[in-house]
Amino acid sequence: MPELLRLKTDAFLFTIKAASIDKRRDTLNSTLSTRQIGASDYSIKTQPPFKLLERPRAFKDAPYSLLHPPKALNQCAQIALEAPLFFENTLYQIEWIFLREVQAAQLSHRSQNMCDAFIFTPSEDGLNARLTGTINTGNDVGWLRLPLTFELDGKTHTQHIAFEVLPTKMALHQDLPAMYQTIDAVYPLWRFSLVEKTEQDAANSKQRGQFPLMWLANFAALRERFNQGLKVICAAPHNRLQPTVANIKAAKLKGRLPHKLAEQVKQDFANGQHDKRYAVKKKQLSVDTPENRFIKMAVSKSKRQLAEFEQKLRQSNQVPERQRLSDSFLNELHSWQQPLQKVLGQSFLNEVGAYTGLSRESLVLQQKTGYSAVYRIWQELKFYLDVFGNQSSISMKSVADIYEIWCFLCVKHILEDDLGFDLVENGAAELKQNDFFEYKFKDDGLRGAFRFKRADGVTARLAHEPIFNKKSNIRSYVVNQKPDIVLEVSLPKQANPDEEKQFIWLFDAKYRIKTDKTPYDDGNEDIEGTDYVPDDAINQMHRYRDALIRLSESQPSNNTDQPTKKSRPVFGAFALYPGFFDQATKENPYAPAIEEVGVGAFALLPSQAENSYCGHQWLLEFLQVQIGSAPSTKQDNELMYPKVSMAERLYVKESARIPYAGMRQVLYPDLTMTAALSGQRGRGNSYFEGFKQGTAQWYHIPQSTFLKEFKQHVAEEIRYLALASTSDTQSSTKQIDKIWPVKRVTVLPRYAITEEQAGKKSGKTDLYYLFELGKPLTLQTPVTNVPHRPIKNSMKLTTLTRLERVTRFSEIEKVYQEAMESLKGP
């Protein structure tokens, strides 16, 4: 492994090695360049500052420095980098070689896994002692802090070295804050974690509340100032003259007495009362002041809070499979309590009473040395996130988890802001706190989802990670399935009296970009110039779509043994990934696959308003086509949402109509197409006599004419032809009196259709649909007033049931309205 970084102090030589990072650096530079974002300042931070024996060195894959030399080597607290060195999903080898006689050394990170990754090797056979380990950054981005603890000359020393781990396909300082803002608005405090590899500034959040992790993070940053202020108070506690009343016998009265008291004593003596006590008011110095009561309360509550933290965390960490916390972190929590306990043992606090609040502002708490520091820090501990600044940091959940929840909420916002849905049930309150004070989602499937309703009666449920197993209504028969995002849309029952229509789309957030070609690639993907989702993510979408089966009773019944009807409810499964595209001008590379088979991916990133960039436009347009947009008026509602139009729009798509080999998949089992017979020019009377007598066996129509009106795959679903012949009463129109069953439909060039089939011979090469007809059915009441010039005016898609209910052509109710396209011209 090439050496990336070398820092040499009088105590140790610190090195970091990794495989070539050139590709990741180039990817990040390309991302920032495409997004028109300038490069950030990259640096390595040390705490406390240490003295370097030589100028630090950072290498690329060639022997030249990537460091800006620090101005002073004696107190080096920050080392600037010319280019980033630390990236997500990268393996780094880290080593401290000790140049002095070190007896022991360890990494004192909060995470037990991080600590276990490092091994201390004592000095032997002339080799220096060393601490060596490897870290895979994974999907953890932010500041990675390496707290080294070592024993030298009988003393324990601690040295922190920190560097920022960067994502390659996201702009860390632009995208993550945008995601945090979206998540915090719905799931406050969910993103914070007790123990992760990396940490980030907690100032990005504006949440307030009694959240233990926030209090702990802030106390860790402020405790030194807190303890220093308490030391000053203990050395010189505030006191003031306070009035006291003492009942004293006359013999012990001293000094000059008030005139009224002297007269009272004189009168009592005259009456022979020599043992009577007299109330004497005095002022004396006392530490039982409101300010000291406040200090005692602040110290007591801080000590109690830390003790509760330690106790609960030690209990949670005892289970072997849940040991996330290192002993050094738990011992550090314990050590934080010792100075507070020492303050509570001060004798002057024994005289201090209980804190009951401040009746007015105290200049002592605001201005006096020690008191003012503790008072300000307590306000920060009380309202931590409102006044955090940039001084506190806390672990966040991995960026993969953050991206997943952000994608989930992005779909929610599209439903509300763009598709006209109103939130009727909020599942955001279904968070629970685990034993490590972190918020988690409840595993309650669709019951804990967001529920929406729209003005047209369409309802939707949006769920995060519902579990589909062998017992659920939507069942996975072999292996439990747990997709990240499930969107279920239901049509109103009045639009579908026979059955409530429900449609499901699955989304899985994948915080990954395809970086390497596989042996199975077709070679058409330019992974260097275009962001693609990894192949395994697409394979997982196929699994989700095909694994889930909906069970429903074939007929309503109270019989538990009623046979169930199985159907495939998933109309599409899509990966969401952080690819960057100008979605306003470019086409989704997965658009053809989405159209053909209902499986693909959508690039999804936070929008950048300053660059006029919309990071969710492809997903928005897809959902608009599937579900429709919000109607603005009642009239718009009727035009945009005709009965069952959404179902037709979905069922007519190619991806929804792929059957098993040898079978057909239809929405309307009695789909009927109306059309007028061709003109008589060039055709013999026998051709038309066959339709009149019910002996005709063939009907043909140009494919170009059909496709101007309908989608191609609708032709295979047509079960009946309602062919209009010349009316006996009106020569200008035709009428339908027979319904012809369709045995088969084929596509042939016109010259391949015989004279017997078409009524005349033709040498044209244009493609035609040729319908093979069965024995006709006769309508009790013919359908009249069928136009026939041009033929498109006589073409409608309906059903046999609907056709039997009307007597005039204009009354025929159309189906597959969305499958029809308007035709220009007369």
Strand runs labelled E in 122-221: 130-136, 142-152, 155-165, 198-201
Q: Which structure tokens are listed for 301?
A: 């509550």
325 pLDDT band, cuts 50/70/90, is: low
- Please provide the CATH number assigned to the domain covering 668-819: 2.30.130
pLDDT level of residue 394 (50, 70, 90 thresholds): low
**Whether pLDDT at 8 is above 50:** yes
Predicted pLDDT at 314 = 72
| pLDDT for 64 | 46
Question: Tell me, what's the pLDDT at 377?
Answer: 80
Q: What is residue 389's predicted lDDT score, i.e. its pLDDT? A: 31
301/354 Cα distance (integer angstroms): 12
pLDDT the model gives residue 60 = 52
DSSP strand pairing (393-394 vs 198-201): antiparallel
Q: Which of 174-178, 599-603, 730-734 is the most confident on average?
A: 599-603
Give the highest mean pLDDT range of 192-206, 258-272, 672-686. 672-686
Of residues 439 and 155, more confidently modeled: 155
Question: Collapsing DSSP states into helix, strand and coil, what is residue 290?
Answer: helix
Residue 633: per-residue pLDDT: 44
Q: What does the chain come to in residues?
A: 826
**CA distances from residue 177 to 170, 190, 216, 332, 402 in whole angstroms, order as listed:** 11, 14, 22, 30, 11
pLDDT digits (tens, 9 = 90+) for 130-174: 999 999 988 788 888 888 999 888 888 888 898 888 888 778 888
* 749 — pLDDT class (breaks 50, 70, 90): very high
Q: What percent of the chain has pLDDT over 70?
A: 76
Range of weakest confidence among 34-43, 323-332, 445-454: 323-332
785-801: burial string, b at 16+ Cβ within 10 Å, e else: bbbbeebbebbbbbbbe
With H, G, I as helix, E, B as strand and everything else as coil, classify residue 375: helix
pLDDT digits over 239-268, tens only? Answer: 877 776 667 777 777 777 777 777 887 787
Question: SS3 for 800?
Answer: helix
Read off the tokens for 382: 């009380």
What DSSP letter does each residue of 417-448 carry, written as one string? HTS--EEEE-GGG-EEE-TTS-EEE---GGGG
Give the model's confidence band at 216: pLDDT under 50 very low, under 70 low, under 90 confident, else very high.
low
pLDDT bucket at 642, cuts 50 / 70 / 90: very low
What distance lies between CA 604 and its chain's CA centroid? 11
Q: Look up residue 618 and give its two tokens.
A: 């492809």
pLDDT at 439: 61
The two structure tokens encoding residue 511: 């915080």
Report whether 166 contacts 86 (CB < 8 A): yes
Average pLDDT score over residue span 31-48: 81
Average pLDDT, the chain: 78
pLDDT category at 644 given cuts 50, 70, 90 is very low
- What is the rounded average pLDDT of the residues 801-824? 73
Q: Quote the CA–CA distance of 415 and 452 in Å, as a whole number.
A: 8
pLDDT grade, residue 20 (50/70/90)? Answer: confident
The pLDDT assigned to 742 comes to: 92
3-state helix, strand, coil in the chain (%, to 5): 35, 30, 40
pLDDT over 60 at 15, yes or no? yes
In sequence order, the β-bridge partners of residue 380 are none
In the predicted model, what is the mean pLDDT of residues 560-578? 79
List 508's β-bridge partners, or say none.
Answer: 575
CA distances from 31 to 66, 159, 529 (A): 20, 34, 11
Which DSSP letter does residue 624 get?
A: H
**Average pLDDT, integer, range 187-196:** 70
Residue 672: what pLDDT? 92
> Of the ranges 408-422, 512-526, 658-672, 775-789, which one carries the lowest mean pLDDT score?
512-526
pLDDT classification of 304: cutoffs 50, 70, 90: confident
Q: Is 45 left (phi over 0), alpha (psi -120 to 50) or beta?
A: beta
pLDDT band at 767 (very low <50, low <70, confident <90, very high): very high
Q: Could you report the per-residue pLDDT of 68-91, keeping only the tens digit for each?
A: 656 667 778 888 888 888 888 889
- Identify the band that residue 21 occupies on the pLDDT scale cut at 50, 70 and 90: confident
Residues 6+ away with beta carbon under 8 Å from 826: 790
In the chain, where the domains are located: 3-168, 212-237+289-382, 240-286, 399-651, 668-819
- Which has the closest alpha carbon to 436: 548, 309, 609, 533? 309
Q: pLDDT band at residue 573, thresholds of 50, 70 and 90? A: very high
DSSP symbol at 818:
G
> 313-325: string of b/e by CB count within 10 Å (b at 16+)?
beebbeeeeeebb
> Are the CB atoms for 486 and 462 separated by under 8 Å?
yes
**Cβ(59)–Cβ(111) under 8 Å?**
no
Quick check: 740 and 696 in contact, CB under 8 A? Answer: yes
Q: Among 130-139, 334-343, 704-713, name the one with the lowest average pLDDT.
A: 704-713
Q: Is the bond leading into 790 cis (omega within 30 degrees of zero)?
A: yes
Q: Of 625, 411, 627, 416, which Cα lies nearest the Cα of 501?
A: 627
